[in-house]
Structure 1
Amino acid sequence: MEKKQFSSKDFHQTYARPVYVKPAKLLHKNVEQAGEHQQFSAERKHPVFFVDLPTKNVSMTIGGLLPGQLTNRHRHTYETVLYVLEGKGYTEVEDERVEWEAGDAVYIPGWAWHRHQNLSDIAPARYIACENAPQLQNLGVALREEEGRDL
């Protein structure tokens, strides 16, 4: 089925009564067993597991930091909330160091330069990242920049 594209002349078709549309799937079982996203993990230089559900506004990934690992500095137009599952480290947001440990949540504003560091030399760190990337992608305004690559 072709997706309808709306223009200003179709504003009258925005109704106050939403309609439930059954999504293709409601469950992604065993996310980490489905496998690491190779391209994104290689670019980010740490393991990333995508949660594959048909969301149009938010995304969720599981990120991992190896012992002592520091990610590349990067930024994007979408917001991120990290929920730390295990480990201890920090996220550098612009010039501010935000220390975190399991159970903490960290907010990364849109277009802020940031990177993550696992402070343990022996144990990995893991987090869930929730972002509004799909919403901005669907609007055509999602941008992502890696320091040193895209400048």
Structure 2
Amino acid sequence: MSITETAQAQTQFSSKDFHQTFARPQFVKPPYLLHKNVEKAGEHDQFSTERKHPVFFVDLPSKNVSMTIGGLLPDQMTNRHRHTYETVLYVLEGKGWTEIEGEKVEWEAGDAVYIPSWAWHRHKNLSDRAPAKYIACENAPQLQNLGVALREEEGRDL
């Protein structure tokens, strides 16, 4: 195995591996490129319980960006929480609001919402009959791989 192949096979580097930093990026094919029927795979039990709303993880091998599908049941509101990673929400269905550091940002299907790093926030579905659904994209894996990702749930971690 060449040095390049050895470097690519490693999952983490330490200071002794500095000589394995190369001038040209190299394509490394991940083990898979598709996650079919994301919602049919089921809710992520632990995360859905913590957030008090259904969350479906998109299982793809990105080391920098994550994607989840979040659902809010009729009239549901999530716990307040914050994290060191940024979030961009794209609303697929419904109407509601996201409170970010005390400011309510109202949204509906087709809108996108930005949640800055370490901002206290929570989400509310305004309908008492229909669910709301959104896609959340975050840079959590990147910060997790650097060892600097933090998440705090109000009332649980304080």
TM-score, structure 2 as length reference = 0.91
RMSD of aligned Cα (Å) = 1.4
Tell me if 1:30 matches 2:25.
no
Runs of 4+ in structure 1 deviating by more than 4 angstroms, as ranges, are none
| One-letter amino acid of the structure 2 residue matched with residue 128 of structure 1 | I
How many pairs does the alignment contain?
A: 150
User: Which of 79, 92, 101 is the aligned partner of 2:99?
Assistant: 92
| One-letter amino acid of the structure 1 residue matched with residue 150 of structure 2 | L
- 1:95 deviation in Å? 1.5
- Equivalent residue for 1:62? 69
Give a deviation string over 1:117-137, Cα, whole Å, max 9, x none.
000010000000000000000
Q: Percent identity?
A: 81
- Equivalent residue for 1:7? 15
5 Å-filtered alignment, 1:40-59, equals: 40-59=47-66
Mapped partners of 1:9, 1:137: distance in 2 = 20
User: Which of 103, 110, 115 is the aligned partner of 2:110?
Assistant: 103
Could you tell me which runs of 5 or more consecutive residues in structure 1 were left unpaired when the two chains were aligned.
Answer: none
Could you tell me which runs of 5 or more consecutive residues in structure 2 were left unpaired when the two chains were aligned.
Answer: 1-8
| One-letter amino acid of the structure 2 residue matched with residue 3 of structure 1 | T
Give the match's secondary structure for 2:29.
Answer: coil
- 1:8 deviation in Å? 7.6
